[in-house]
Structure 1
Amino acid sequence: MYNKLGRYVLMAIFALSALVSFYFYQYQLALISATLSAFILWSHIKQSSVLLASKHFKNSDYDRAEQVLNEVDRPDMLSKGRRGFYEFMRANIALKRDQFDVAEHHFQIASRYPLGGKNDKAYVLIHLANLALRKKDSERALAYTEKAKELATSSRAIDIITTIEKEAKKLAN
C-alpha cells in the first residue's frame, strides 16, 4: 500500500541489492532480490495506488483520493477488480464536483468491471439512471433501473430505484 514514489524506491533498493549480491557471487540472494523487484513492478502495474486511494475516499478526503488516483499512469493496465474501484472512485469524485459528463463516463466504465458485490454494481447503475434523469432521458433511466433491480439486494437501493422509476415515468409522460 505504497504510493508511486515508495514503490520506485523499493524497486531500486531490490535491484541494487540484486546487483551487489551478483557481484559478490551470491546468486541465490541476487535471484531473490530480482524476484522481489519484479514483483513490486508487477504490483505497480496491476494494483497501483487504488487501495491507498480507497482509504482516503472512504474517509471522505476526496482531494487526497484524487491526488493518489492521479498517480495511476495507465488505468487500462490495472487488474479487473482494481479497475472497477478506480473508475467508481473517479466517478464519485466527479459527482462531488458537479462534473456530470465526466462522472457518467467513469460510471459507464465501472459498470463493465466487477465491484464489491451485486449491490455495489446496482449502485453504479442507480447513479447512471440518476444521471440519465438529469439529462431528461427517461428511456435510458428506465433501462438502467431495470438492470439495477436485478442486482439490488438492500432495501435502500430498491427504494432509490423505485423513486427513480417514478420520476422517469413522469418525465416520459
Structure 2
Amino acid sequence: MALFAIVCIFFVYRQQYQLASIVGVFLGFIIWSHFKHSSVLIASKYFKNSDYERAEKYLDEVDNPDRLTKTRRGFYEFMRANIALKRDDFESAERHFQIASRFPLGGKNDKAYVLIHLANLALRKKDGTRALAYIEKAKELATTSRATDIINVIEKEAAKLAN
C-alpha cells in the first residue's frame, strides 16, 4: 500500500494525473480488499494444515468481522468455532457455529457439517428436540455418505433424549 501511495504522489508531482488516478484506484482496491477479505484466507491455509495456533493468530487480526464479505465471514466463524471445539469451549463454539450457519460456505455439505456440529452441541446439553431440528435441516443439505451416516447416529441419540 505504501508503494502505491508513493507512486501516486510521484505521478501527481510529475503532473501525470491519469497515471496517478490509475494508481489511486489500485490503492483504493487494496484498501477495500484488506477490509473485506482481511487475513481469513491466510488463516484458512494454516487451519487446513491443523496449525490452529497460527490460524487463530491470523483470525485475531480481523478487527471487525462484520466488515468481511459474506463468504469470508462464514469461513471466519467456521474456523473460530472449530478452534473453540478443540479447546473444549463449547459455548463459544456453539455461538460461532450459529453465526456461520447464517452465511454461505463452500457448499451444501459444508453447511450440513455446521448443522451437524450444532446438533452435537445440543446433544451435549441434553437438548434432544433442538438436536432433531438441526438434524432435519442437515438432512436436506448433506450430500456425502459420511455426513448421512453421522446424521443417522445423531438422530438416534437425539430421539432417545427427546422421548
TM-score, L = length of structure 2: 0.98
Give, in whole Å, the separation in 2 of the partners of 1:41 and 1:24.
24
The equivalent residue for 1:120 is: 110
Give, in whole Å, the separation in 2 of the partners of 1:40 and 1:74.
17
The one-letter code of the counterpart of 2:2 is A
Percent identity at matched positions?
A: 74
Q: For each residue in 1:125-171, what CA deviation from the matched residue of structure 2 results, as whole angstroms up to 9, or x when unmatched?
A: 00000000000000100000000000000000000000001111112
The equivalent residue for 1:41 is: 31
Give, in whole Å, the separation in 2 of the partners of 1:15 and 1:138.
57
| 1:69-80 alignment, distance < 5 Å | 69-80=59-70
| 1:1-173 alignment, distance < 5 Å | 11-173=1-163
Give, in whole Å, the separation in 2 of the partners of 1:172 and 1:148.
18
The one-letter code of the counterpart of 2:57 is Q
Q: For each residue in 1:68-106, what CA deviation from the matched residue of structure 2 results, as whole angstroms up to 9, or x when unmatched?
A: 001111110111111100100000000011000000000
Moved beyond 3 Å, runs of 4+: none
Give, in whole Å, the separation in 2 of the partners of 1:74 and 1:21.
34
1:24 CA displacement:
1.1
The one-letter code of the counterpart of 2:127 is D
What 5-or-longer segments of structure 2 have no aligned partner?
none
1:29 CA displacement:
2.1
TM-score, L = length of structure 1: 0.92
Give, in whole Å, the separation in 2 of the partners of 1:48 and 1:99.
25
1:27 CA displacement:
1.4
The one-letter code of the counterpart of 1:109 is I
The one-letter code of the counterpart of 2:59 is L
Give, in whole Å, the separation in 2 of the partners of 1:32 and 1:67.
34
Secondary structure class of the residue paired with 1:116: coil
Give, in whole Å, the separation in 2 of the partners of 1:34 and 1:100.
46
- Cα root mean square deviation, aligned: 0.8
